[in-house]
C-alpha cells in the first residue's frame, strides 16, 4: 500500500473514533482562485466591523505560511444538530451551534488528543490544529476536500448531512492522498435568499453581506443595532439559523451525540420575562463555557431589548 494511502486510512479511522462525521484531504497550496474574490468582498465592506478579516490577507490564502513545509490540509466536519431545537423556535432564539459548551474549546481538545494518537501510529510530523482560530479559509478547503459545496447562503453543504456541522482543520507536512471537489447542487433553489429577513444574501446567491446578517448583528457588532433592522430580527438574540432551516438539504440532518453540546437545563426554564429581566449573574450561570459569552452580557441584553421594545 502506498504511504499516502496508508496515512489517509489512518486519519479516516481516527476521525471516526473521535466523533467526526466526515473528513477530507486537499493539497496545501496558495488559494490563488480566491484572492480576487476575497479582496472584492473586503473592499465592498461586507465584513462590517470585523476588521480582523482585513488582517493577514496572505496567511488567509496560503496555509504553507501558517505551517511551513505543509503538504496537506485535512478538513473535518463535526455534527451539532440538536435532537430538541426548541431554543431556536421561541420568543428568544439562540442559534443551534451555541446551545452547549463553546465548540471552539470542545473541538480543539478533541483535535489535540486525536493528533497525539495519530503521531503514535505514524511517527512525529509537523502539524497544527485549527477551529476557527486562525486565518484559515475553512469552507474553501472543505470544498476542495470534497466535503461539500459552498451554497447560495455561503455555508458549506454536505449532500448527506446538510450544513449543521462545525469545521476544523489539521494542516500538516505529511503527503496524504487527496480528495476532489464535488459539484454545486443548489440548482435553481432560492429558499435561503427568499427567507433572509435582512436581505444579507445577494439575490444571485453565494455572496453574504455579513454586516446585514443577524448573526453578525447579534454577536460581532459591538455598537447599537441599526433601527432599520428593528422588525427583521425574527426574535433571534444570539446568531441565526434561518438560511439553514429552509435549506432542503438539511432534511438529512441527524441529532448529534456530543453531551458537551447539550444546553444548560436552566435554559428550558427561562420565560419571556426572565429573558427581559436577565441579570449579569444569571447570564454567567446560564452560559458558563458557552459561545454566547462572545457577545458578553451587555451584548445579549442589547439584543433582547432590541426585539422586546
Catalytic residue positions?
132
> How far apart (Å, rounded) are the C-alpha atoms in residues 214 and 230?
11
262: its cell numbers: 447539550
Alpha-carbon distance values, 87 to 237, 241, 271, 292, 304 (Å): 11, 11, 12, 13, 14
Distance from C-alpha of 217 to C-alpha of 242, rounded to nearest angstrom: 14
| DSSP state for residue 231 in the 8-state scheme | T
Give, for 38, the enclosing helix (H) or strand (E).
helix 32-43
**Cβ–Cβ < 8 Å for 46, 211:** yes
131: which 3 cell numbers? 477551529
Three-class SS of residue 176? coil
Closest CA to 148 of 136, 133, 161: 161
Alpha carbon of 85 to those of 68, 99, 272: distances in Å? Answer: 42, 9, 17
CA distance 28 to 255: 32
Contact present, 154 and 143 (Cβ < 8 Å): no
Amino acid at each position: 500500500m502506498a504511504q499516502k494511502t496508508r496515512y489517509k486510512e489512518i486519519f479516516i479511522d481516527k476521525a471516526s473514533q473521535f466523533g467526526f462525521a466526515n473528513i477530507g484531504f486537499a493539497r496545501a497550496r496558495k488559494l490563488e482562485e480566491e484572492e480576487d474574490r476575497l479582496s472584492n468582498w473586503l473592499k465592498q465592506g461586507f465584513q462590517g466591523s470585523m476588521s480582523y478579516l482585513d488582517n493577514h490577507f496572505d496567511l488567509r490564502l496560503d496555509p504553507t505560511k501558517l505551517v511551513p513545509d505543509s503538504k496537506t490540509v485535512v478538513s473535518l466536519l463535526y455534527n451539532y444538530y440538536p435532537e430538541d431545537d426548541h431554543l431556536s423556535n421561541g420568543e428568544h432564539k439562540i442559534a443551534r451551534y451555541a446551545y452547549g459548551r463553546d465548540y471552539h474549546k470542545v473541538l480543539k481538545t478533541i483535535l489535540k488528543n486525536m493528533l497525539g494518537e495519530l503521531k503514535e501510529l505514524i511517527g512525529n510530523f509537523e502539524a497544527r490544529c485549527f477551529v476557527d482560530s486562525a486565518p484559515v479559509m475553512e469552507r474553501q478547503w472543505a470544498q476542495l476536500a470534497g466535503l461539500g459545496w459552498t451554497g447560495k447562503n455561503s455555508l458549506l453543504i454536505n449532500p448527506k448531512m446538510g450544513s449543521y456541522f462545525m469545521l476544523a482543520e489539521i494542516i500538516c507536512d505529511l503527503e496524504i492522498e487527496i480528495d476532489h471537489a464535488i459539484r454545486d447542487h443548489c440548482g435553481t433553489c432560492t429558499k435561503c435568499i427568499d427567507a433572509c429577513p435582512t436581505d444579507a444574501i445577494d439575490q444571485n446567491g453565494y455572496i453574504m453581506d455579513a454586516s446585514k446578517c443577524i448573526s453578525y448583528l447579534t454577536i460581532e457588532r459591538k455598537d447599537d443595532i441599526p433601527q432599520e433592522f428593528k422588525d427583521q430580527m425574527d426574535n433571534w438574540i444570539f446568531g441565526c439559523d434561518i438560511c439553514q432551516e429552509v435549506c432542503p438539504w438539511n432534511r438529512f440532518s441527524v441529532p448529534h451525540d456530543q453531551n458537551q453540546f447539550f444546553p444548560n437545563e436552566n435554559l428550558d426554564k427561562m420565560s419571556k420575562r426572565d429573558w427581559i429581566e436577565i441579570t449579569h449573574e444569571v447570564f454567567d450561570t446560564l452560559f458558563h463555557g458557552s459561545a454566547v459569552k462572545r457577545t458578553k452580557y451587555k451584548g445579549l441584553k442589547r439584543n433582547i431589548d432590541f426585539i422586546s421594545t
